[in-house]
Copies of this chain bind each other. A is one copy, B any other.
């Protein structure tokens, strides 16, 4: 938890941009969508959307599967775990009554 985790780093970087976070949130709330669908209502061009999706994908936060000429992207449930772990760890410095802390510490020792 104290050493640099490349994946955690990518996640934080990916979420740094509000537009990118909005795309992720839409995929969470409204389910899998095509690039075309995501571009509508995004206020940016399709290539810009594709770029953001590429960043999210390389961080493991979303996945995309090609269906004909479309690509359907969906949020990746497990991808938030590193963020949750990090947050839980540093929150635990004040909230000692964190339920999963013991398990978390075990995972860290590995």
A91-B80 in contact (CB<8A): yes
- Copy total for this chain: 2
A2-B16 in contact (CB<8A): no
Whole-angstrom distance between the Cβ of A60 and the nearest chain B Cβ: 15
A12-B15 in contact (CB<8A): yes
B16-A93 in contact (CB<8A): no
Chain A 82-97 interface mask (CB, 8 Å, partner B; 1/0) = 0110010011011000
User: In the bound complex, what is the Cα–Cα distance between A15 and B16 (angstroms)?
Assistant: 8
Which residues of A does B touch, CB under 8 Å?
2, 4, 9, 12-13, 15-16, 18, 21, 24-25, 28-29, 75, 77, 80, 83-84, 87, 90-91, 93-94
